[in-house]
């Protein structure tokens, strides 16, 4: 069991937890700089989805690092980003020596997202682990294959992990049914064990912090259960981190806005069939409705 029952997470809770204010004279650096390490030769679009969501949440400056084989295509599809090509392993992961190419971008970054659409789990986890000594207080969001970095032991400083029940089962060795039966305990135990903020995603999403705080959100609809939906959530959370939100605050806002975006899209297009690429625009509408 969790230490305390999860607190309810909804739009009302967010109004009591306002995002850091942006000054009217902020330039793009002050608006927040984000490095997104994502995409791969079979799934380049994951980087596009995550990066779009980050910009819709107000991040000011964006660098995407992706596989060399798809970097040019991605740069053309995302003119708002600087795109860096990373050397790839034969199986489509990113080689560890590619981290050197990120040094200049890391310097300016407030937040880093690693994982959406990355191939070859072992190489991806090693890449994420290789970034840890360079964090120096920058907020790190790990999603998809990059979450396997947790298997090497606790993080030296808290990072954010966003597993769905299947990924949580894979990471802990528990069964997926056990995670689904009690996601709060799964999130809370993982948060403590890995020194991470952990959001176990699903029809209900539970968020836990290493110091034992826990929230549960119910909302959205099954139209959100669609390829690439999680990439938009991870990108939005990272964008909010770049703007200055803490890991747990960005995650709480991201989860609620993502669900509300699903409800806005379902009202316009029907319960299922809307696309992940439509979620970021609807998240911005939801953000403006809550935050003004
Ligand atoms: N068409 C695509 O593929 C697209 C993919 N995209 C992006 O690619 C990334 C990977 O997505 P995906 O869909 O390939 O991996 P997904 O199913 O999340 O599994 C991840 C891992 O979880 C585990 N696991 C999963 N189910 C389980 C279960 N029932 N019970 C237990 N374990 C289970 C399983 O680990 P294993 O058990 O195999 O070790 C698996 O390896 C992600 O960023 C996604 O958004 C999009 O950008 C668009 C198109
Ligand atoms: N039935 C549902 N009701 C509400 N939200 C859902 C439902 N199913 C999935 N979601 C949300 O959709 C997102 C799916 O993310 P994920 O499983 O990582 O997708 P993908 O890997 O395809 O991008 C999560 O944020 C999850 O909470």
Residue 240 belongs to some domain of the structure = yes
Q: Which residues line ligand 2 (CB under 6 A)?
A: 164, 201-203, 205, 220-222, 224-225, 227-231, 233, 258
Find the ligand nearest to 261 CA: 2
82's enclosing H/E stretch is: strand 82-86
Determine the average pLDDT of the residues in 129-150. Answer: 97
Confidence of residue 2 (pLDDT cuts 50, 70, 90): low
Contacts of 110 (CB under 8 A, 6+ apart): 32, 33, 34, 138, 139, 241, 242, 243, 244
User: Domain total for the chain?
Assistant: 1
234 closest CA partner among 86, 114, 118, 150: 114
Atom index in ligand 1 nearest the CA of residue 38 equals 43
Residue 153 CB neighbour total at 10 angstroms: 11
Tens of pLDDT, residue by residue over 153-197, are 999 999 999 999 999 999 999 999 999 999 999 999 999 999 999
The answer to whether position 244 is within a domain reads yes
Which residues does the annotation place in the binding site for (6S)-NADPHX? 46, 117, 164, 231
pTM over 0.90: yes
Supply the pLDDT for residue 201.
Answer: 98
Please give the pLDDT value at position 286: 98
161, part of any domain? yes
Confidence bin at 1 (pLDDT 50/70/90): low
Strands 82-86 and 204-208: unpaired
Say how many Å lie between the first and final Cα of the chain, rounded. Answer: 38
Q: What is the pLDDT of residues 252-291, one digit of tens each?
A: 999 999 999 999 999 999 999 999 999 999 999 999 999 9
> Domain for residue 279, yes or no?
yes
Report how far ligand 2's centroid is from the alpha carbon of 58 (Å).
22
**Which of 42, 201, 205, 278 maximizes ligand 2 atoms within 8 Å of its Cβ, making it the mutation to test the pocket?**
201
Domain interval for residue 283: 7-18+25-291
ipTM higher than threshold 0.90 = yes
Q: Identify whether 1 is part of a domain.
A: no
CB of 33 within 8 A of CB of 64? no
Give the pLDDT of residue 3. 59
Ligand nearest to the CA of 164: 2
Mind listing the pLDDT tens digit for each residue in 36-84? 999 999 999 999 999 999 999 999 999 999 999 999 999 999 999 999 9
Q: Is the C-alpha dihedral spanning 102, 131, 72, 30 positive or negative?
A: negative
Q: How do residues 106-131 score in pLDDT, each as one tens digit? A: 999 999 999 999 999 999 999 999 99
CATH number of the CATH domain containing 146: 3.40.1190.20
Calculate the average pLDDT of the chain.
97
Q: Quick check: is 2 in a domain?
A: no
In a domain? residue 149: yes
Cα 155 to ligand 2 centroid, rounded to whole Å = 25
């Amino acid at each position: 069991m969790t230490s305390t029952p999860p607190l309810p997470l909804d739009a009302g809770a967010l109004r009591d937890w306002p995002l850091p204010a942006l000054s009217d004279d902020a330039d793009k650096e002050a608006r927040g700089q984000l490095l997104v390490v994502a995409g791969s030769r079979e799934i380049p679009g994951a980087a596009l989805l995550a990066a779009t969501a980050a910009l819709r949440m107000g991040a000011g400056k964006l660098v995407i690092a992706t596989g060399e084989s798809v970097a040019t295509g991605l740069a053309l599809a995302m003119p708002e980003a600087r795109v860096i090509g990373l050397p790839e392993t034969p199986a489509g992961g990113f080689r560890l020596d590619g981290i050197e190419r990120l040094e200049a971008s890391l310097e300016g970054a407030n937040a880093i997202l690693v994982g959406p659409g990355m191939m070859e789990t072992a190489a991806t986890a090693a890449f994420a682990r290789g970034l840890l000594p360079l964090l120096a207080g920058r907020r790190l969001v790990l999603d998809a294959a990059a979450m396997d970095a947790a298997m090497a032991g606790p993080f030296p400083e808290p990072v954010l992990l966003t597993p769905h029940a299947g990924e949580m089962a894979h990471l802990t060795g528990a069964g997926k049914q056990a995670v689904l039966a009690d996601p709060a305990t799964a999130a809370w135990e993982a948060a403590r064990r890995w020194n991470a903020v952990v959001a176990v995603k699903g029809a209900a999403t539970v968020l836990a912090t290493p110091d034992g705080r826990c929230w549960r959100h119910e909302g959205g609809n099954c139209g959100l259960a669609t390829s690439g939906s999680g990439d938009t959530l991870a990108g939005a959370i990272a964008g909010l981190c770049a703007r200055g939100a803490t890991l747990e605050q960005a995650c709480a806002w991201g989860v609620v806005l993502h669900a509300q975006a699903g409800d806005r899209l379902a009202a316009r297009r029907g319960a299922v069939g809307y696309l992940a690429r439509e979620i970021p625009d609807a998240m911005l509408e939801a953000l403006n409705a809550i935050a003004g």
